[in-house]
Structure formats: C-alpha cells, structure tokens
Amino acid sequence: MTTQPTELTLTLAPQRRFEAIDVNSRINQEAGDLLRKHQRALYTSFHTTAGYLDQSLSVRMHHRQDLVSQFFSAFHALFPQGGEYRHDQMELRSELTEEQKVVEPRNGDSHLTFIGAGMRNCVTYRTRPDAPVYFIELDGKSDAAMRKRKTTVVGYDHETVVARTTLSIPMSKHPIDAINLADPRLGVLERINDLVAQVGIDRARVDLVVSPNERNVGITVNEYETLLMQHDLVEVLRDPLRFARAKASHMVADPFSIPGKTLNYAKYDAVRVLNSLMEALRIDAGSFERLIAKVMSLPARRFLRSRRVSFLAGTDPETGQPRVLRGTYQSPILVQWQPAEKQERHIDVVVTQFS
C-alpha cells in the first residue's frame, strides 16, 4: 500500500551563530511517526546561510554532532568572521539604504562557507528515524537580531521523473564568472516554472544539473549580491586561503588584539584546516598527501564541487500555479573558472514527482 506524501514545516530558533540542529528530533516531537511512514524525506531550507549536508557526507561523519562541528571549524578557519570581505563593507553596498546598512549582517564568511563546504538548500535522505539530520546554521546570531529559520520536510516513498529539458546559458568572456540563473533577463526560472506548471503536480523536486560534458564549471544556491559574487567568490576561486592569510596577517600585525596562544596558531591555518578535515571525515593518515593535493591544487575545481542543486516545487499560494519554491534571497548560480566554448553552458532540468 502506497501512502501519500506528508509535509511538515518547522520554525527553528538558533541560539548561536553556528549551530547544528537535529531536525529529525523536532519532527518526532511535532509529527510523531512521519519518518517511519515513509522511505524517503526531502529537506528544504529557504535561507542562504543555513542548510543541509548531503546524506553521504553526514554518514561519513557517522551523524555525529561533534564531527559535524569539527568539519565546519575547518571552513571557519578558511573564511574567518570579520575577514576582509567586500560583501561586508557596507559603504560599498549601494543597493542598501542607510537604515539597512546599520542592521545588515556582516556575514560574507557564512556565505562562502555555505558554498565551500558543499552545503545544500535542498537534500533527499533515505529515512532513518533514529539518526539525526542536521539543519546547519552559519549565521544564527548577530548584533542586530536572533534569526528565525524555516525548513520544510516532505516524506514520501517513491519518485518518478515526469519531465526533463536542457537549457543553454549565455556566459561572459571572463575566465572566472558567476551567472545568476534567477535573473529575469535570462528567463531561466520562467522556463522551469512553465515546465513545472505543464506537468501540473502538487509537490515535486526540481534538479538543475550541469551537463556531463561541461568542464570547469559548478552550480550552487546562494544570495547573488554583486560584491559577494564578483569579488569575494572570485578571490576564493583564485586562492582558497586568501581570507585566512589576510586575517592571520592582521592578527600578527596587531598582537594585542588577540590572545597570545592564538597568535601562534594563526601562522598555521592551512595545516589546521587539513588536520580538522581529516579528523572530521575520518581520513586515514595514508590519504593525507592526496588530501593536500586536493585542497592546495586546482583551487576552483576543489572549492566548488557541486554539479547539481535542487528545489522543492509546489503550488504558489498567490497564483495557485505550480512553481519552484525558494527563499527571498536564494538564487541558483552557475560559476565558471575557465571560459566556456562558444560562450555558453548547458544545464539539464529534471522534474521528479513524489508518491
């Protein structure tokens, strides 16, 4: 007997800037046996500095909260809070009013961590009711406010591909570039929403996949803010340790601004990052040299590994039409680090129905 998909939306209140919140525990409290009724569950975050890890990565860390925290501590070293991010220089943010500049969070580090750590706005897990699934919060507390977050979980048993198409994306001549696929001028989301509406289903997953023959390109979901995408992200693609070194240099130049012990650690950020990742992912010592090669060479390809992003699709409460459901600032972003042949890239769009 096949059951109908079950949907639940949770409101989360993180208590710290970084926090791993066990969503499955909250589901058990609020919806009882939802996860036991279904074989799969789709978890969706509507935020750009909070989301999920793929199930395979979580399994590799044995679903342990301490190892998840250790994994992210490596990226906190790569992208330190208070680093020299253009995104955080409010005097350059011409799109903000003076009032907004006062309360806008300085969270360039959180955005880059989301991208670099391979976090997802939407993931599908095979259900294990007794195993935690962590909603990873990277920017839960600021001087201005404590955040409220929402996540939607859809439990289901089967999935069927009901539509697919391939889209051509025009690219610039720049070797390193980030293209906002939500830009209305491209019409990408409009075409995807039309495809979803034609299928006419209530709940589905929409996958945007970089075509297999494409090279030197990845895809992520984040806020498309010009300084973040055209400056901070570009700097990281050129040199993943750029912000870590800049922060360390600042601390060395101003030793009275930090505890003495930290002064010595600051000189060895790269080693600390590698060691932390090794321990969190439980990589044996024999793999250490391979890990160094992955992190320290071909930086763009290693930094942005994602070739697929997903979105929950459902009925728009305003129009009553099926469409991709996304947060206010969430955009699918295509990132290249070598120029594209004929100045275009291709992405495959796959619509999968739940039952």
Domains of the chain: 6-354 (2.60.120.460)
Residues 6+ apart with CB under 8 A from 166: 211, 346, 347, 348, 349
Instruction: Report helix, strand or coil for 242.
Output: helix
Residue 186, pLDDT score:
96
Any idea of the CA torsion for 101, 103, 109, 111, to the nearest 10 degrees? Answer: -90
Q: Distances from the Cα of 116 to the Cαs of 143, 184, 295, in angstroms?
A: 25, 26, 11
Tokens matching residue 279? 């321990």
In this prediction, the residues of the chain whose per-residue pLDDT falls under 50 are 250-270, 288-289, 291-299
Query: What is the reported pLDDT for 238?
Result: 83
Tell me if 208 sits within 8 A of 349, measured CB to CB.
yes
Q: For residue 271, give Cα distances in angstroms to 222, 236, 256.
A: 28, 18, 24
Give the ranges where the chain is alpha helix by DSSP (H): 23-31, 34-37, 55-60, 65-78, 98-103, 108-116, 188-199, 226-227, 233-238, 242-253, 260-265, 269-281, 288-296, 299-303
**The two structure tokens encoding residue 233:** 């992200």
pLDDT at 202: 82
